[in-house]
Structure 1
Amino acid sequence: METYQVDLSEIALRIRREIVRMVYNAQSGHPGGSLSVADILTVLYFKEMNIDPKNPNDPKRDRLILSKGHASPALYATLALRGFFPVSDLAGFRKIDSHLEGHVSREIPGVEVSTGSLGQGLGVGVGMALASRLNGFNYHVYVILGDGEMEEGNVWESLMAGYKYKLNNLVAILDRNGIQLDGYTRDIMPLHDIHAMVESFGWNVIEIDGHSFSEIEDAIEKSKRSERPTFIIANTVKGKGVDFMENNPKYHGSPPESEDLYRRAMRQLGEEI
């Protein structure tokens, strides 16, 4: 597999710029939850995962499932910068003649599963982790979930299955930014003590700052030494890096609505427009 060295903070900043550029140009998309997960994707794709863009279908590769498929701008930007397809393709996001659909699609190089209907990704991850064992491979499966998605019953069924089959090559990462489509998760359906809840299902639970590269890396390394599946609660900020988007439910699914706001966002992310 290919080795890759990069400054994580710089690549995360580039991912965030591409996220904002994509949703602004399309005047459509989900910037908030894409920005909140950028640091996690950076660590996975540029530090931890065993992958090779030149051989994206290697049967021994690690797999990532973006179960919160509406955060497609984050994954598309990550895959493009990692070399799975040209960065110039990002300009076609959500356009009729582009392969970059609003929710992630399996047709795109580097995307393992088409997602968008929430609650399904972890179940697919359970299946992939089982397949690794049955096929005699040793790859890891990472599943990124949204905290609004934790309201789906399928997630909890999958947690039970992951523990039953002792899938220690399965890692679920909860992007806990506290906001979903209709507002704050605490008002819509509180998660209460999610750490204790998931732990009671038999999983190894680790809670981290989802914007700390060192904490993300450490949690991933600990998951590799666990005899149980691992659930990482990554506390994040919705809209991270753009002041008017941070912790603002409006930008769950809305682009910057003016050129001035777009320029302001890009300036904060290190690029003058």
Structure 2
Amino acid sequence: MTLTPQTAGTVLERGRCADPAQLAHRADWLRLRVIEMIDRAGLGHYSSTFSCAEILAALYYHALRLDPADPDWPDRDRFLLGKGHAAVGLWPILADLGYLPTEALDTFGYLGSRVGDHPDMRTTPGVDFSSGSLGHNLSVGLGMAYAARLRGSDHRTFVLTGDGELHEGQVWEAAAAASHYRLGNLVAIVDANGFIGSGPTDELLGIEPLAQRFAAFGWRVVELDGNDTGALIEALDTLPDPGSESPVCLIARTVKGKGVRLMEESPRAWHVGYLDSGQRADAVAEITMRMREREAGA
């Protein structure tokens, strides 16, 4: 059921073998690692990381073309984490693939650590752009995609945003520019979990209907269940050729706090938080039981 970490020095091509059950298992593995890291740090972003766990698993274990032994390989696919507060979900994957020593995860949240609460391209191999202040990464991603087009490279640029991030006007400027420059090598993934830190996304500023809005900006739009690994595989495997002329937006409808009942039922309370010992034990037991049931049914 588990996916074997790739060996250093091996280029990870697109479409690597991973079935939906394996990726779902990897997403739950990621949730357990996130709980461990936040437990050591004393505070962190659980629920907004858990909503995109399946997305991260599908990208890194199936869809992205990478070379962990050469993080700056020019022909790699780029990945930009617009919702940078979910970086705690990126670090276990990068360590698993060989970008980082596993021991680095023990320092999450500590001053001077390479694995902080937000990604930093200056300190962490495998990070293509830093993020913290929301709204910048789609603009940066379109610049990377445009540069690839000018160089004749066929790499793709993926940008994962939160739905609250779409409140930033710069995102829509980037959306307009991406279609103007016909960047079919740019893929935006919206983690549409319906919540920002203070509550429901639409209470602050309505952003729906997302599909029609991106389509009006000239994007090819696919709407899917972002916690369904089978749907993610299908959407990523059917992306148009990078040389095509329409940028793609995957609107991934997700559940904030996905995989931990306590957080799913109280998403407003768990944007930033800390599980006490009893809550932590219950969450770990819930995830572990689901993983065991999945393995038993394999």
**TM-score computed with the length of structure 1 as normaliser:** 0.95
Offset at 1:243?
A: 0.9
Is 1:250 the counterpart of 2:260? The answer is: no
- Root mean square deviation of aligned Cα: 1.6
Match of 2:33 among 15, 18, 34: 18
Match of 1:51 among 66, 72, 76: 66
Contact 1:223/1:229, CA 8 A, preserved across alignment: no
Is 1:210 the counterpart of 2:220? The answer is: no
Is 1:87 the counterpart of 2:102? The answer is: yes
| Corresponding letter in the other structure for 1:116 | G
Q: Equivalents in 2 of 1:100, 1:174: separation in Å?
A: 24
Q: Equivalents in 1 of 2:147, 2:36: separation in Å?
A: 38
Aligned to 1:9: 24
Contact 1:104/1:114, CA 8 A, preserved across alignment: yes
Q: Mean alpha-carbon deviation: is it higher for 3-12 or for 213-222?
A: 3-12
Offset at 1:5?
A: 4.7
Is 1:239 the counterpart of 2:257? The answer is: yes
Aligned to 2:3: none
Q: Mean alpha-carbon deviation: is it higher for 44-53 or for 93-102?
A: 93-102
Q: Equivalents in 1 of 2:194, 2:97: separation in Å?
A: 29
Helix, strand or coil at the partner of 2:116: coil
Q: Mean alpha-carbon deviation: is it higher for 75-84 or for 52-61?
A: 75-84
Q: Mean alpha-carbon deviation: is it higher for 80-89 or for 105-114?
A: 80-89
Offset at 1:203?
A: 0.3
Helix, strand or coil at the partner of 2:93: helix
Number of equivalenced pairs = 271
**TM-score computed with the length of structure 2 as normaliser:** 0.87
| Corresponding letter in the other structure for 1:250 | A
Helix, strand or coil at the partner of 1:47: helix
Q: Mean alpha-carbon deviation: is it higher for 216-225 or for 181-190?
A: 216-225
Offset at 1:82?
A: 2.1
Is 1:230 the counterpart of 2:248? The answer is: yes
Contact 1:20/1:255, CA 8 A, preserved across alignment: no
Q: Equivalents in 2 of 1:2, 1:39: separation in Å?
A: 19
Aligned to 1:266: 284
Offset at 1:75?
A: 1.2
Contact 1:147/1:178, CA 8 A, preserved across alignment: yes
| Corresponding letter in the other structure for 1:27 | G
Percent identity of equivalent pairs: 37
After superposing on structure 2, the runs of 4+ consecutive aligned residues of structure 1 that deviate more than 6 Å are: none
Helix, strand or coil at the partner of 1:245: helix
Aligned to 1:112: 128
Q: Equivalents in 1 of 2:109, 2:95: separation in Å?
A: 16
Q: Equivalents in 1 of 2:189, 2:157: separation in Å?
A: 11
Q: Equivalents in 2 of 1:253, 1:158: separation in Å?
A: 29
| Corresponding letter in the other structure for 2:66 | I
Offset at 1:224?
A: 2.5
Aligned to 2:189: 173
Q: Equivalents in 2 of 1:217, 1:162: separation in Å?
A: 24
Query: Which 5+ residue runs of structure 1 have no aligned equivalent?
Result: none
Q: Equivalents in 2 of 1:175, 1:78: separation in Å?
A: 18
Q: Equivalents in 1 of 2:98, 2:54: separation in Å?
A: 18
Offset at 1:88?
A: 2.5
